[in-house]
Amino acid sequence: MVYETIEDAVEGAKNVLEGNWTGHSTVPAWGLYPHQWAWDSGLTAIGYAHYDQGKAESELLSLFRGQWKNGMLPHMLFSKECPDYFPGASYWEVRRSPNAPRDIDTTGCVQPPVHAIASYEIFKDSKDTDRARRFLRKIYPSLCAWHDYLYRERDPDRDGMIYIRHPWESGRDNSPVWDEVLARPQFDRDEIPIYTRTDSDDWKRDGRPNDRHYDTYIYLCELFKKADYDEEEIRENCPFLVQDLLFNSILVRSGRCLAEIARAIGADPRQHDERADLTVFSMRDRLWSDSKGIFLPYDRVDGKMLDHHEVGGFSPLYGDVPTPEQAKRMCDLLHSKYFCPVDCDDCFAITSYSRSDVDYDPLNYWRGPVWININWIIARGLRGYGYHDHERWIVKSIRDLPMKNGFRERYHAETGEPQGGVNFSWSAALFLDCYYEGLFNELEDLHPIKQSFSG
Ligand code: 2M8
């Protein structure tokens, strides 16, 4: 055990965040991730919101310094202290776009839009409501511009479902769900620049994306650069355009929070709710697979669903997208040998990919391991549908995995062994969120849930 008591672990989680604090924001983990990442910052702010409103606000406000003129919130803001990171500021050449900020270096793609959710959590958790309202007034226009960008530039069909154009935008970089789309671009090695990976020199040992996938990530970035980051041109040429479930589900939940924020500051909430309604309608109508009992992402280039049992398929619970009947079927599948160890006797929560699939790999990044942030998202979704026992099993893992192994980036899906980045911010922050929400107090009478899904 790394932490003997909950109090020690709470202290430990705060120390992790303190250690990763740069003075205005928090890095995901030193070493592997020494810059500011957009959805990491949003999730980290949710942890700070419970005990340090100043840091929570600063985390988000400092992130929005990188917002582009067209509203795009880039997936990373680069610190000048770590110039050796690849692909770093000099690689992205974002100033090819007139929209990129001049005084701060960023990437040219995005990440799941958790930021209105985080802003609203800061308001809800605040003991100083006047201050929190001032914060909301300050950040509201930036949040609106961010959502406007997504609905304007990433939803050419105007059906409320936005596309992502790079696996990095999904937050689940090397999930097997992207494999067939990543295999699509045929290019020679000399079509992309010579580069050295800084994330790993042995991807197998470190459980990172393989070299071919990394080359394809860079190939896609080259395409963005050639288009000078013009979205219309990118859309015409990009072989990776996917309506992703996690991204759109978070967008719905964020849209609802944006509506709440508008209400709290006397602005008009209607557009936010209408957009969220449209996204929900389209996802339910177009992305549900009745045969699989789960939602599936849509590949806009080939015009078909990406047929996988992948953890993103459950994220619509978080956006309140499924009907109660759909939610029931998802829940049965969630609590089956595919995603969760039988009977939850020693549950390590939801794996990132189905355990019965040939591409499942409990050691490799988004191809199997358990992630705290995804489990937190699904647990919140389950709560909304009244699946309290299922939620509690997940919360138990969010408590037990770090107490046993420390606040790590991810955990082995079957043994709970820690993997990847050490002292990882969102694992610490979301542990703190569950603690302060009192969720760890509700775990005493936890019984195995009978599986109703035979698979
Ligand atoms: C991972 O992504 C970065 C690239 O953005 C990487 O692999 O180097 C993902 O897990 C992503 O979801 C996360 O935001 C980032 C930082 O924690 O790391």
Angle (CA) 378-120-397 rounded to 5° is 25
- Cβ neighbour number for residue 80 with a 10 Å cutoff: 8
Closest ligand 1 atom to 209 CA: 7
> Measured in angstroms, how far is the CA atom of residue 364 from the centroid of ligand 1?
13
Task: Label residue 366 by pLDDT band (50, 70, 90).
Answer: very high
- Cβ neighbour number for residue 309 with a 10 Å cutoff: 23
Which residues 6+ apart lie within 8 Å of 358 measured at CB?
none
Task: Label residue 341 by pLDDT band (50, 70, 90).
Answer: low
- Cβ neighbour number for residue 186 with a 10 Å cutoff: 8
409 counts as catalytic: yes
Tell whether the model's pLDDT for residue 446 goes beyond 70.
yes
How much helix, strand and coil, in percent to the nearest 5, is found in the chain? 50, 5, 45
Q: What are phi and psi of 171, to 5 degrees?
A: 80, -10
Q: Which residue has the tokens 């770093």?
A: 88
Closest ligand 1 atom to 28 CA: 17
> Measured in angstroms, how far is the CA atom of residue 168 from the centroid of ligand 1?
7
Helix (H, G, I), strand (E, B) or coil at 305: strand
Q: What is the mean pLDDT of residues 151-178?
A: 98
DSSP collapsed to 3 states, 77-144: ECCCCCCCCCCCHHHHCHHHCCCCCCCCCECCCCCCCCHHHHHHHHHHHCCCHHHHHHHHHHHHHHHH
> Measured in angstroms, how far is the CA atom of residue 206 from the centroid of ligand 1?
14
Of all protein residues, the one whose alpha carbon is nearest to atom 17 of ligand 1 is 28
Instruction: Read off the tokens for 20.
Output: 């990763």
Closest ligand 1 atom to 365 CA: 10
Q: Confirm or reject: Cβ of 39 under 6 Å from ligand 1.
A: yes
Q: What is the mean pLDDT of residues 244-270?
A: 98
Q: Confirm or reject: Cβ of 199 under 6 Å from ligand 1.
A: yes
Span 408-417, pLDDT tens digits: 999 998 888 9
The predicted structure's pLDDT at residue 445? 81
Q: What is the mean pLDDT of residues 298-309?
A: 96
Helix axes 115-125, 245-265, angle to 10 degrees: 40
Instruction: Read off the tokens for 16.
Output: 């992790």
Span 35-63, pLDDT tens digits: 999 999 999 999 999 999 999 999 999 99
417 counts as catalytic: no
Q: What is the mean pLDDT of residues 367-379?
A: 97
Q: What is the mean pLDDT of residues 100-119?
A: 98
- pTM value is 0.97
Of the candidates 57, 391, 400, 409, the residue annotated as catalytic is 409
Tell whether the model's pLDDT for residue 210 goes beyond 90.
yes
Q: Confirm or reject: Cβ of 37 under 6 Å from ligand 1.
A: yes
Alpha helix (H) residue ranges in 209-361: 211-226, 231-237, 245-265, 270-286, 324-334
Of all protein residues, the one whose alpha carbon is nearest to atom 8 of ligand 1 is 199
The predicted structure's pLDDT at residue 454? 46
The predicted structure's pLDDT at residue 249? 98
> Measured in angstroms, how far is the CA atom of residue 325 from the centroid of ligand 1?
34
Span 344-360, pLDDT tens digits: 566 678 999 998 899 99
Residue type present at position 211:
D
Q: Confirm or reject: Cβ of 297 under 6 Å from ligand 1.
A: no
The predicted structure's pLDDT at residue 347? 67
- Average per-residue pLDDT in the chain? 95
Q: What are phi and psi of 128, to 5 degrees?
A: -120, 85
> Measured in angstroms, how far is the CA atom of residue 197 from the centroid of ligand 1?
14
Task: Label residue 251 by pLDDT band (50, 70, 90).
Answer: very high
- Find the helix or strand (DSSP H, E) in which 354 lies: none
Of all protein residues, the one whose alpha carbon is nearest to atom 5 of ligand 1 is 168
Tell whether the model's pLDDT for residue 452 goes beyond 60.
no
One DSSP character per residue, 43-58 reads: HHHHHHTTT-HHHHHH
DSSP-derived secondary structure letter, 368 = S
Span 8-41, pLDDT tens digits: 999 999 999 999 999 999 999 999 999 999 999 9
Q: What is the mean pLDDT of residues 177-205?
A: 95
Of the candidates 40, 155, 173, 310, the residue annotated as catalytic is 173
- Report which of 6, 3, 46 is spatially closest to residue 443, judged by C-alpha positions: 6
One DSSP character per residue, 399-453 reads: HHHHHHH-S-SEE-TTT--EESSSS-HHHHHHHHHHHHTTGGGG-TT--PPPP--
Of all protein residues, the one whose alpha carbon is nearest to atom 11 of ligand 1 is 171
The predicted structure's pLDDT at residue 342? 47
What phi-psi label fits residue 423: left (phi over 0), alpha (psi between -120 and 50 degrees) or beta? left
Q: Confirm or reject: Cβ of 409 under 6 Å from ligand 1.
A: no
Q: Report yes or no: 393 and 347 within 8 Å, Cβ to Cβ.
A: yes
> Measured in angstroms, how far is the CA atom of residue 295 from the centroid of ligand 1?
23
Instruction: Read off the tokens for 45.
Output: 């702010």
